[in-house]
């Protein structure tokens, strides 16, 4: 019974294909598809390509930070705070908190190992980033 239904269905499909015929694409089918794909890639680049913070703001922030640090290091800083008594400021200056920290002796081989590890981890991060950028890029 199942075979009869399959045969009837096959015959029906064959008759329909013969009567309707196969469709053929237009002459410019490939060109229209490619132009549509290119138009979508241009739109996606316009949306995806803008960073939240432009480069000139990053550069100006870095310059301002550099100027601030250079002023703090090389500038003549005479700060008078009226809300803190001068005696308290002298006590804060004499604390020497760095002298109270424990002294750690680290052998040079551990320092070399840490620097090497940090170097190779940095390389691995760069390689993984470039791999995923290529994998998920819209141009590929």
Q: What pLDDT sits at residue 87?
A: 67
**Least confidently predicted of 27-31, 70-74, 98-102:** 98-102
pLDDT in tens, 33-84: 888 888 777 666 666 667 788 899 999 999 999 998 888 777 766 656 566 6
Q: The pTM is what?
A: 0.31
CA distance 29 to 110: 65
Q: Is residue 18 part of a domain?
A: yes
Alpha carbon dihedral 41, 45, 47, 51, in 10-degree steps, equals 160
Split at pLDDT 50, 70, 90, the class of 133 is confident
Q: Is residue 132 part of a domain?
A: no
Give me the DSSP letters along 15-49.
HHHHHH------TTHHHHHHHHHHHHHHHHHHHHS
Q: Are 81 and 89 in contact (CB under 8 A)?
A: yes
Total structural domains within the chain: 1
Q: Is residue 23 part of a domain?
A: yes
| Domain that includes residue 5, residue range | 1-75
């Amino acid at each position: 019974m199942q075979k009869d239904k399959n045969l009837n269905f096959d015959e029906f499909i064959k008759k329909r294909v013969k009567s309707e015929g196969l469709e053929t694409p237009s002459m410019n089918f490939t060109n229209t598809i490619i132009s549509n794909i290119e138009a979508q890639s241009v739109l996606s680049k316009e949306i995806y390509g803008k960073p939240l913070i432009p480069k000139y703001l990053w550069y100006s922030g870095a310059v301002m930070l550099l100027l601030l640090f250079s002023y703090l290091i090389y500038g003549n800083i005479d700060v008078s705070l009226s809300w803190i008594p001068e005696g308290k400021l002298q006590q804060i200056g004499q604390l020497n908190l760095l002298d109270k920290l424990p002294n750690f002796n680290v052998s040079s081989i551990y320092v070399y190992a840490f620097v090497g590890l940090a170097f190779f981890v940095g390389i691995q991060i760069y390689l993984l980033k470039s791999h995923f950028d290529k994998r998920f890029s819209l141009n590929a």
